[in-house]
Amino acid sequence: MTAQKQTDEFYMRRCLALAEKALGKVSPNPMVGCVIVRDGTIVAEGFHTAYGNLHAEAEALKSCGDVSGATMYVNLEPCAHEGKRQTTPCSPKVVASNISRLVVGAEDPIASHAGGIAAARAAGIEVKVGVLRDECVRLNSGFYNYASTSSPYVIAKVASSVDGRIALASGESKWVTNESSRRHARKLRQWADVLITGAGTVVADNPRLTSRLGDAKDPTVAIVDSALITPSDAALFDATREVIVFTVDDANPHKQRTLEERGAEVLRMGAGRVDLQKMIAELGRRKMTCAMLEAGHLCGQFLSKKLAHELHLYIAPKVLGPNGVGWSADGSLDASLTLKESCHFSGDVLHKYWVNGTAAWRDNT
Ligand code: AOF
Ligand code: ZN
């Protein structure tokens, strides 16, 4: 019996769902899912499970028999380069499989890796490109951004009251938003290679900065700390993870040693204030493609310096009053924001904004 025929978008959505299973496990490579369909039935699927493992197309092809005449869906153009493994690139495998149709979500932005679309066409395979392109690019925003900038895609997260306060006058900010919002925000930590925070936030909240979801790895923590006030017994040191403290050129060497004894790497980057541009460039040099900023105080600076690509603003139905701490105080906010999505979590609201002028590659999608 032949199954009901579905649209190309339907199968591309399945690719995206498969790809996302590897959230936090493949960076700096992209999340990729692949589905092979014949007569309306999915006959094989696969995804790139972890950095260094088989690509999605090879995963799908390895588990199925004859797929000649079938349609392959994949959210990223099949690669045509000799990669890090001994295995051959995907596009000859795709051609050899004798599929008759290839549906690609988005082109590979790395010219030396791309080539799968042209190779398939040259082999007489019907190729359709651009199905759910926006979603496909957005899933791998870190990968696409890195391909053209060599620096991380930065999402600034702010949790505030309806009157824009992130903390009480005392500095205390635990907990403005509810448990369900905070669980959602932890998923973004899983996406991130690096969590950027400020020493003030570490002192005030003593956050663990873990993702605490399943077997997710805990991201690197980068602390902006001009005066080296990060306590050496901060809870974030308890997790097995890399900690980098960015400080100023004339920082106190004794305090530096204390933090180094806790396993932190201390980098001097800037006179008077930490040079945030240089910090981002350094994270990029370390092949970090996805960064999350969790420090209300730094958020204004990141937006005004155009270092953040997205702002995720969680708003709790609370009023903290005029003495509370605002999140945009530091930095002149001439950044223009475009609302892309809103949702809510048990009474809290999340608005996701794009910061305009920070991602030329995205504006084309
Ligand atoms: C992936 N997973 O499923 C696909 C990728 O470093 P390598 O050898 O694994 O190659 C990574 C490149 O391969 C990546 O930058 C992208 O251009 C292409 N496709 N990568 O990690 C996949 N299909
Ligand atoms: Zn490949």
Which tens digit of pLDDT belongs to each residue from 323-337? 888 887 665 666 789
DSSP 96: H
Residue 327's pLDDT is: 82
**Rounded to an integer, what distance in angstroms lies between the CA atom of residue 332 and that of residue 176?**
24
- Domain spanning 3-139, CATH class: alpha beta
Residue among 29, 34, 108 whose CB has most ligand 1 atoms within 8 A, to mutate: 29
**Rounded to an integer, what distance in angstroms lies between the CA atom of residue 75 and that of residue 128?**
12
Question: Which residue's CA lies nearest to atom 22 of ligand 1?
Answer: 55
Instruction: Please tell me the distance between residue 288's alpha carbon and the centre of ligand 1 in angstroms.
Output: 16
Averaged pLDDT for residues 169-191: 85
202 C-beta neighbours (distance < 10 Å), count: 23
Question: Which residue's CA lies nearest to atom 2 of ligand 1?
Answer: 55
Averaged pLDDT for residues 184-203: 93
Known catalytic residues are 57
Instruction: Please tell me the distance between residue 365's alpha carbon and the centre of ligand 1 in angstroms.
Output: 21
Instruction: Please tell me the distance between residue 55's alpha carbon and the centre of ligand 1 in angstroms.
Output: 6
Give the global pTM: 0.92
Please name the amino acid found at residue 87: T
Question: Which residue's CA lies nearest to atom 18 of ligand 1?
Answer: 79
Detail the DSSP E strand segments found in the chain.
Answer: 33-38, 41-47, 71-76, 101-106, 126-129, 153-161, 165-167, 194-198, 220-224, 243-247, 265-268, 290-293, 310-316, 325-326, 337-345, 348-355
β-pair type (290-293, 194-198): parallel
Which three-class secondary structure state does DSSP give residue 170? Answer: coil
CATH 3.40.140.10 domain range(s) in the chain = 3-139
**Rounded to an integer, what distance in angstroms lies between the CA atom of residue 307 and that of residue 280?**
8
Residue among 49, 76, 81, 91 whose CB has most ligand 1 atoms within 8 A, to mutate: 76
Residue 322's pLDDT is: 85
Averaged pLDDT for residues 156-172: 86
CATH 3.40.430.10 domain range(s) in the chain = 152-363
Closest to 320 (Cα-Cα) out of 184, 197, 196, 166: 166
125 C-beta neighbours (distance < 10 Å), count: 19
Which three-class secondary structure state does DSSP give residue 62? Answer: helix
CA angle 249, 255, 256 (to 5 degrees): 55
Closest to 196 (Cα-Cα) out of 298, 86, 44, 337: 298
Q: Is pLDDT of 351 > 70?
A: yes
Answer yes or no: are the C-beta atoms of 150 and 290 closer than 8 Å: no
- Domain spanning 152-363, CATH class: alpha beta
Answer yes or no: are the C-beta atoms of 215 and 352 closer than 8 Å: no
Residue 170's pLDDT is: 73
Answer yes or no: are the C-beta atoms of 55 and 90 closer than 8 Å: yes
Averaged pLDDT for residues 257-278: 96
Question: Which residue's CA lies nearest to atom 5 of ligand 1?
Answer: 55
Instruction: Please tell me the distance between residue 40's alpha carbon and the centre of ligand 2 in angstroms.
Output: 25
Residues in contact with ligand 1 (CB, 6 Å cut-off): 26, 29-30, 32, 48, 55-57, 76, 79, 83-84, 90, 108, 110, 113
Instruction: Please tell me the distance between residue 70's alpha carbon and the centre of ligand 1 in angstroms.
Output: 23
**Rounded to an integer, what distance in angstroms lies between the CA atom of residue 96 and that of residue 249?**
57
Question: Which residue's CA lies nearest to atom 10 of ligand 1?
Answer: 83
Q: Among the listed ranges 43-47, 236-240, 313-317, 329-333, which one has the minimum average pLDDT value?
A: 329-333
Give the residue with greater pLDDT, 362 vs 33. Answer: 33
Q: Among the listed ranges 127-141, 156-170, 233-247, which one has the minimum average pLDDT value?
A: 156-170
Averaged pLDDT for residues 269-285: 97
- Reported as a single tens digit per residue, the pLDDT across 40-80 is 999 999 999 999 999 999 999 997 889 999 999 999 999 99
